[in-house]
Amino acid sequence: KRIAILASGSGSNAENIIKYFKNSDLVSVEQVLSNKKDAFVLERANRLNVSNLSFNRADFYASDKIVELLKKNADYVILAGFLWKIPQNILDAFPNKIINIHPALLPKYGGKGMYGMHVHEAVVANAEKESGITIHYVNENYDEGAIIFQNSFEVTATDTANDVANKVHTLEYAHFPEVIEKVILQNG
Ligand code: GRF
């Protein structure tokens, strides 16, 4: 099965996924796409010899350019730090085939604007006792699709937002590729 990865930023999750499936005969990472032409994720894809490109709002929301590209190249679409809402034409083309990772325990700390450090700062500000990751199917609203997988860790009284971010990344790298593999194995 072929996957395309959408990412807006650094792409450490995208890199981890690409490396995990490097020698897989089940999954191949066909393409990395970003809404930011200078996103480091594109540099990571280049270094890993994965086809990649950037697109703008018009491409994504006002044309069939990206959905046609995804339909041609991918069976699944993975969001790994992708900050834009997925348009209806892509949701329709990939029913239960778009998977996102969120750096918190949804439904808490989800929704527009809740990404990256904003999430971890809010968790610390609210003195939460735990945080973690949520991997879920994507629907028309931010962070509201059916949950596939969650894993949590204890947030200590001395943890900073950065400490929480590091603990989240550790869980993401440990679980995201395997959860993707399991979904593809189960759903085909
Ligand atoms: C990850 O924490 C992910 O959960 C969130 O954005 C971050 C992306 O990090 N959606 P990276 O670009 O994969 O390094």
Arithmetic mean of pLDDT over the chain = 96
The pocket around ligand 1, CB under 6 angstroms, is made up of 7, 9-14, 80-81, 101-103, 115-116, 168, 172
pLDDT at 141: 84
Average pLDDT over residues 81-93: 95
pLDDT at 111: 87
Q: Is 46 annotated as a binding residue?
A: no
Helix, strand, or coil (residue 155): coil
pLDDT bracket for residue 143 (50, 70, 90):
confident
Q: Which residue puts its alpha carbon closest to atom 6 of ligand 1? A: 81
- What distance in Å separates the CA atoms of residue 74 and residue 6, rounded to the nearest whole number? 12
**Nearest residue by C-alpha to atom 7 in ligand 1:** 81
* 46 close to 88: Cβ distance less than 8 angstroms: no
Residue 144 predicted with pLDDT over 90: no
| Residue 8: how many other CB atoms lie within 10 Å | 18
For ligand 1, atom 8: residue with the closest CA: 81
Angle made by CA atoms 117, 152, 165, in degrees to the nearest 5: 20
d(CA 46, CA 170): 24
Stretch 48-75: mean pLDDT: 98
User: Counting atoms of ligand 1 from 1, which one is nearest the CA of 12?
Assistant: 14
52 annotated ligand-binding residue: no
pLDDT band at 142 (very low <50, low <70, confident <90, very high): confident
Atom of ligand 1 nearest to the CA of 172: 4
Q: How far is the CA of 13 from the centre of ligand 1 (A)?
A: 6
Report, as an integer, the average pLDDT of 86-102: 96
Confidence of residue 77 (pLDDT cuts 50, 70, 90): very high
pLDDT of residue 69: 98
100 is in an annotated binding site: yes
With a cut of 0.90, is the ipTM above it? Answer: yes
Q: What is the DSSP code string of 82-140?
A: --SPPPHHHHHHSTT-EEEEESS-TTTT-STT--THHHHHHHHHTT-SEEEEEEEE--S
102 labelled catalytic: yes
The secondary structure of residue 2, as a DSSP letter, is E
